[in-house]
Amino acid sequence: MKKVNIILFGIGNVGSTLINQLLSAKEQWEKNSGISVSIPVIANSTKALFNAEGISKNWQKDFEKSAENYNLEDILDFTKANDLEHLIAIDATASKEFVEIYIRLIQNGFNLVAANKVANTLSSDFYKEIRKELDYHGKHFFYETNVGAGLPIVQTIQGLYQSGEKVTKIRGVFSGSLSFIFNTFSENKENFSDVLEKAGKLGYTEPDAREDLSGNDVGRKLLILARELELNKEFQEVKIQSLIPEKLNGKTSAEEFQKRIGELDEIFTKHKTEQEQGNVLRYIGEIEVASASLEAKLISEPKNTALGQIKGADNIFEIYTESYGDQPLVIQGAGAGAAVTARGIAGDVLKLSQRLN
Ligand SMILES: NC(=O)C1=CN([C@@H]2O[C@H](COP(=O)(O)OP(=O)(O)OC[C@H]3O[C@@H](n4cnc5c(N)ncnc54)[C@H](O)[C@@H]3O)[C@@H](O)[C@H]2O)C=CC1
Ligand SMILES: N[C@@H](CC=O)C(=O)O
């Protein structure tokens, strides 16, 4: 039996669901894959719970009772002192700062799995540096949930590209929260701000919903896929239409924004009423490979098209390639939510574990 040790950073919406999924699937993984998963450390931004034997189903209570302030050194010392091998650090934070420790984790024997999209969307120098360190230390980095949550998008693009297929265009709805928001807002008479609030409660938005509404989250996903196709792009080069006015973005705090979301109602009611009859609003992403152009924008789409008919928090990805010709390869399904995202991370952990000797 191969024992794999998970150090989980981020025990919010996605991270806590992941713990429960991993603990429930433990016996099945042991029986079917010969992999025994243990979670000796879980951490939020300030406190960590350490248990060399691995946390149990009572982890929430244990965390409340015994979690202690920590820094990275404490975690490195703990894994060394307890001879923990086959280490996988999972980044289930949305932190822009946390990714700064990726290189040190790799240098200290960790493999990485990330739901956080930040590391893959910083400068291409940092992107290349991570991969250089991974190669040098013989470590792995999986990030399927960076695009499409639990949908198999990253692996499909990697598989097509690495097999020599020419991908010409990727177009679709890349945001689960914006999909839910526009599906609900286009169909119902609810205020935009009420629908936005609902999307947050369902766990579809980023911790700061402005990441979604500004188009930055879709911009990041476009960049992540473009880089899989070896397009040498930077985040600043992605053309992004923001859905929020400057007065609510910029220097406004997340709390203040939350209090003022009612100010969005008028703007979105205007978008809605100005459409042609039978159309719906869709926030789409598009990668044109030949011109290396990446764009995220709001469009009004006829309801009877592939993009127009999606439901709930669905994403849809149309992948155009040489072999598929004019009829794209299409992947569709829930593109946000704790359960599907956590399952996507669990899939990454399993695949990564199978590569460890
Ligand atoms: N919600 C979804 O449908 C999807 C989410 N993701 C990604 O999953 C990640 C987590 O999302 P949620 O769980 O919704 O966020 P959340 O806000 O519910 O949880 C974030 C957690 O990270 C912790 N954290 C923040 N900074 C930290 C640091 N420096 N060190 C350790 N922990 C830190 C927080 O304390 C919190 O426990 C985000 O990067 C998001 O983009 C990816 C795909 C889908
Ligand atoms: N906030 C994101 C979650 C998944 O990445 C989205 O809305 O798609």
Are 205 and 175 a contacting pair, CB within 8 Å?
no
Distances (CA, A) of 224 to 73, 219, 232: 30, 9, 11
Q: Which residues pair with 298 in a beta bridge?
A: 283
Is the shortest distance between the CB of 219 and ligand 2 below 6 Å?
no
Going by C-alpha positions, the residue among 142, 297, 292, 117 that lies closest to residue 221 is 117
Q: Is 43 in the pocket of ligand 1 (CB under 6 A)?
A: yes
Q: Do residues 278 and 302 touch, judged by C-beta distance below 8 A? A: yes
Q: Does 247 have pLDDT greater than 90? A: no
Ligand 2 atom closest to the CA of 117, numbered from 1: 5
Please give the Cα distance from 165 to 52 (Å, whole number): 45
pLDDT tens digit sequence for 122-181: 999 999 999 999 999 999 999 999 999 999 999 999 999 999 999 999 999 999 999 999
Evaluate whether 2-149+339-355 and 154-335 have a shared fold.
Answer: no
- What are the sequence ranges of the domains in the chain? 2-149+339-355, 154-335
Helix (H, G, I), strand (E, B), or coil: what is residue 293?
strand
* 275 pLDDT above the threshold of 90: no
8 Å CB contact between 182 and 173: no
Describe the crossing of helices 192-201 and 264-273 by its angle, rounded to 10 degrees: 110
**Residues with Cβ within 8 Å of residue 189, at least 6 apart in sequence:** none
Ligand 1 contact, 149 CB (< 6 A) = yes
Element (H, E) at 351: helix 338-355
Active-site residue, from 65, 80, 128, 221: 221
Asked if residue 145 has its Cβ within 6 Å of ligand 1, the reply is yes
The CATH-assigned architecture of domain 154-335 is 2-Layer Sandwich (3.30)
Lowest mean pLDDT among 34-43, 184-193, 293-302: 184-193
For the Cβ of 12 lying below 6 angstroms from any atom of ligand 1, the answer is yes
- Say how many Å lie between the CA of residue 207 and the centre of ligand 2: 10
Q: Which ligand is nearest to the CA of 343?
A: 1
116 annotated to a ligand binding site: no
What are the pLDDT digits (tens) for 278-296?
Answer: 999 999 999 999 999 999 9
Per-residue pLDDT of 180-221, as tens digits, reads 999 999 888 899 999 999 999 999 999 999 999 999 999 999
- Top-tier CATH class for 2-149+339-355: alpha beta
46 appears as a binding residue in the annotation:
no
Six-digit token string for 271: 């978008």
Q: Is 128 one of the annotated active-site residues of the chain?
A: no
Rounded to an integer, the average pLDDT of 302-318 is: 96
Closest CA to 114 of 93, 97, 132, 129: 93
| Per-residue pLDDT reduced to its tens digit, 50-99 | 999 999 999 999 999 999 999 999 999 999 999 999 999 999 999 999 99
For the CA of 207, the nearest ligand: 1
In the reported structure, the alpha carbon of residue 73 is separated from the centroid of ligand 1 by a whole-number distance in angstroms of 22
pTM higher than 0.90: yes
**Cα torsion through 228, 104, 138, 125, rounded to 10:** 30
Bin 87: left if φ > 0, else alpha if -120 < ψ < 50, else beta: beta
Cα of 323 vs centre of ligand 2, distance in Å, is 30
